Chain A
């Protein structure tokens, strides 16, 4: 009833091949984009922007990156945190080496370094599969983390061992450093995330994305049908790491302002993996939903005791949050192993046939 595509005729191949052939989808996406670009900047306060929206978008982008690798190409990776770190450190080095360049360009370029390193660590995936591969990507995680600590050149030999984002201006406004306003940061992060998500939506339904999915579904069969496993898998690693790298660079430049090696530890990798799994493997929309759930739920839980007027120690809240998040993850996996994306599809089907049950 509400979501019925009947009667929407397409008169050209172009219309039939459109990214969103159904009117309701287009309307829905426009509304979401309007909220993101107009309503939130107009009404949200700084706290909402800096501690909810910006991290949410950064994590969504990282989840899209991992989703390309794990959800679409079927290669399980636990090294996401480190690849994000590579992006962050590369962006930091680039902006300090070229102080006059536009910092947004540098953030986008830093993903290339991350992509190169991701491709190198993707090489074993040709022989090693499944859970074994997951463990070998841990090698990338721990090795790169060690590099961030032990190679002082990466953080310009400063005493703290952390990278601090320098003050930079672009288009006449301060975009990075401590003085940048949340609204500017939010717009940059939003634009990059939306642009990359749009790009990936198109890549994934094209030849490249389909060859990834063939590798995921059965690699030997894909090889017999003329997909080259080497190029395809390495491309998936490179693209995934590029996106993760950009997300990592945005994380330090537009959200945290400073980062140390422990910001890109294994727990970040797990967090991103949770977003991907809970959101739904192989779904871009799912990446956003997963990121929203994993990031916003703990923030939300933190404020519950305060609003209810119960006085609880901050530690206890943190421990209970851990318990609740863990339990909810198991709960959602049991209820719907295919993630929120599947729940959304079921919901769409219900809307389509409403008011009838089927």
Chain B
């Protein structure tokens, strides 16, 4: 038993390096996708202190809108543009209808409001586009679909899906773009000011409402990118919502307010989950992917309650 837990998995990793690398790659891709969802959470939490539970459903909603529009005969790129417009409308609507009346309420009320939003978006998405899973329009959007096998000499080969590589590249581009946006532009600076202190930001003439609408729109764009990438790997359906819960351990691992934290947390969870499932999962009957991420996050949290990159929590009376 002890041998199975402590030695055998490592022996396997050494014996079959191609399989191990493949697992690492899978973990990397899953981690990138978790990180993308977590990124949307972080954007909104930073700017408004709202824990946006609806981010997962926004991913599905964005994907559904894109596919749904395309099914109704609108060309892919036009559908993409229209989806971006839809996310903008959604962001403005959320800011106007939900956020503004609820400003300055306790965290838990805002959290509940976003869960209410989740219900609404599920109902609305299914009502408009139907509940059945849909195929993502990968080819029409000009995304690669093939795969490459890399030979490793004697030791087997690794298969890389092109869409996964594209996902990784897009994730890097998005994070860089967001970094530049946050640090170099006027609006980005205003966003950081709001994140730091709402009242101080208001007093120097930053419009909170405008900033929130922008942040929700940015989160909507991140959701759209995530939706496309994720939809290309499986289907676009509301089952994605469950996967989106995985972004939560990523978040607490990285800290609610840190963009690098979301990336690193995503990768840790992605790697940990795949390696754990494939090398240790068999010992307890498999399927441990559903909770392993939470346990990893829980163990990290016991040592660092604010997450890896979160700001230090100082408690006063």
Contacts and interface: CB of A to CB of B under 8 A. Distances in A.
Interface in A284-321: 315-316, 319-321
Interface in B74-110: 97-98, 101-102, 105-109
B109 to A, nearest CB: 5
Q: How large is the interface on B (under 10, 10 to 19, 20 to 34, 35 or more residues)?
A: 35 or more
B317 A76 contact: no
A323 B252 contact: no
Given A330-B113, A333-B112, A143 B291 contact: yes
Contact of A274 (B115, B123, B305): B115
A29 interface: no
Given A135-B248, A277-B112, A334 B101 contact: yes
What is the predominant secondary structure among interface residues of chain A facing chain B?
A: helix
A127 B301 contact: yes
B245 interface: yes
Contacts of A277: 108-109, 112
B317 A218 contact: yes
Interface stretch (A32-40, A87-95, A144-152): A144-152
A41 interface: no
Given A220-B317, A221-B317, A333-B112, A322 B123 contact: yes
Contacts, number: 136
Q: How large is the interface on A (under 10, 10 to 19, 20 to 34, 35 or more residues)?
A: 35 or more
Given A129-B305, A150-B287, 4 more contacts: A135-B297, A326-B119, A326-B120, A337-B106
Closest 8 pairs (CB-CB, A-B): A322-B123, A326-B120, A326-B119, A139-B294, A323-B123, A329-B116, A142-B291, A319-B127
Interface of A: 70, 76, 124, 127-132, 134-136, 138-139, 142-143, 145-146, 149-150, 218, 220-221, 224, 266, 270, 273-274, 277, 281, 315-316, 319-327, 329-330, 333-334, 337
25 contacts: A76-B108, A127-B305, A129-B305, A131-B256, A135-B252, A136-B294, A139-B249, A139-B294, A139-B297, A139-B298, A143-B291, A145-B290, A150-B285, A315-B131, A316-B127, A319-B124, A321-B123, A323-B120, A325-B119, A326-B118, A329-B119, A330-B98, A330-B113, A333-B109, A337-B109
